């Protein structure tokens, strides 16, 4: 009986490992954040850079916040994994684990083995633990294209109804034309719109929605193949323009929410 039990456990473990590997191969891109939760600043101890480097060695196409989304990813965020490095509790030991979660549904697709280090210097300890986590984990990654056909349903902004303007009687008036001295041509500064306390500023890849008070970027967006429809970087949903208004649409707890960002007049 014990022999049969051990065989059952072995078969179950292999099956779970094969299932996890198959799921990992469904994804084409990995997004590495600028900062992990247990660190105090962006790329502290160069741990984020090391994570990107090690993922690239495993065959992943790695992106960061500053990268423009490729065309297939702009249409389908089910191709993207979010990378996160977690620090585990350990007595006099640094323990790190890599997690890859689906951008499509926030489900954890892959958890690495736990890497350890007993070095006292933070940078060396973090690097040693992270490298060990990668070395102990069987990635065997190769993108299979399974998620390539899952497209994001993006609503088409409605066409504004034409306004009917009643014609007014034409009144003849005398027009006096004054000669104006030529003036120096000044550089034209792009105009911005204030939306619910946000400043909409155009970027190379889309628009940044900046808090008008703190000047912090609340939403950073990337353009899609659809006119006036933008993907929100690092957040669920999309932002698009409906007539003259900006609208954010996202899914939370299985419910679609449409948040109108009204322009302040």
Please indicate, yes or no, if residue 47 is contained in any of the structural domains.
yes
Q: In this predicted structure, what is the pLDDT of residue 184?
A: 54
Residue 132's pLDDT is what? 97
SS3 195: strand
Cα–Cα distance measured from residue 264 to residue 245, given in angstroms and rounded to the nearest whole number: 10
Secondary structure (3-state) at 170: coil
- Decide: 98 and 130 in contact? Cβ < 8 Å: yes
Q: What is the mean pLDDT of residues 2-30?
A: 55
Q: Is residue 163 part of a domain?
A: no
How confident is the prediction for the chain on average, in pLDDT? 77
What is the per-residue pLDDT for 265?
45
* Same domain as 119, residue 47: yes
Q: Is 158 part of a structural domain of the chain?
A: no
The CATH number of residue 108's host domain is 3.40.50
Q: Does residue 152 contact residue 77 with C-beta atoms inside 8 Å?
A: yes
pLDDT value for 69: 73
Q: How many domains does the chain have?
A: 2
Within a domain: 11: no
Tokens found for residue 81: 């994994």
| Residue where a domain stops, chosen among 118, 136, 154 | 136
Does some domain include residue 45?
Answer: yes
Q: What is the pLDDT of residues 103-113, one digit of tens each?
A: 888 899 999 99
Q: Is residue 162 part of a domain?
A: no
**pLDDT at residue 185 tops 50:** no
Same domain for 21 and 112, yes or no, is: yes
Q: 199 in a domain, yes or no?
A: yes
Q: In terms of pLDDT, which residue wins out, 4 or 101?
A: 101
pLDDT reported for residue 180: 52
Contact 17, 138 (CB under 8 A): yes
Q: Do residues 131 and 197 both lie within one domain?
A: no
Structural domain boundaries enclosing 254: 193-261
Please state the separation of Cα 219 from the chain's center in Å: 10
Q: Is the dihedral of CA 24, 27, 32, 36 positive or negative?
A: negative
pTM of the model: 0.52
185 belongs to a structural domain = no
Least confident of 194-198, 199-203, 219-223: 194-198
């Amino acid at each position: 009986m014990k022999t049969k039990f051990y065989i059952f456990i072995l078969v179950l473990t292999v099956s779970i490992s094969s299932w996890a590997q198959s799921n990992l191969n469904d994804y084409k891109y990995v997004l590495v954040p600028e900062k992990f939760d247990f660190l105090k600043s962006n790329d502290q101890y160069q741990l984020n850079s090391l994570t990107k480097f090690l993922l690239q060695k495993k065959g992943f196409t790695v992106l960061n916040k500053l990268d423009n989304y490729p065309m297939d990813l702009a249409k389908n965020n089910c191709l993207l994994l979010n990378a996160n490095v977690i620090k585990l509790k350990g007595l006099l030991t640094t323990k790190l684990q890599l997690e890859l979660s689906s951008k499509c549904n926030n489900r954890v697709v892959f958890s690495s083995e736990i890497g350890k280090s007993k070095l006292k210097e933070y940078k060396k300890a973090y690097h040693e633990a992270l490298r060990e986590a990668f070395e102990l984990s069987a990635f065997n990654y190769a993108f299979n294209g399974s998620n390539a056909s899952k497209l994001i349903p993006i609503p088409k902004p409605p066409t504004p109804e034409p306004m009917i303007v009643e014609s007014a009687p034409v009144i003849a008036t005398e027009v006096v034309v004054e000669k104006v001295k030529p003036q120096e041509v000044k550089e034209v500064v792009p105009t911005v719109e204030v939306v619910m306390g946000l400043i909409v500023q155009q970027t190379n890849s889309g628009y940044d929605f900046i808090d008008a008070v703190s000047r912090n970027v609340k939403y950073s967006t990337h353009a899609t193949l659809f006119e006036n429809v933008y993907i929100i970087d690092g957040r669920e949903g999309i932002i698009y323009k409906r007539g003259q208004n900006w609208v954010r649409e996202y899914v939370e707890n299985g419910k679609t929410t449409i948040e109108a960002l009204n322009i302040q007049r």
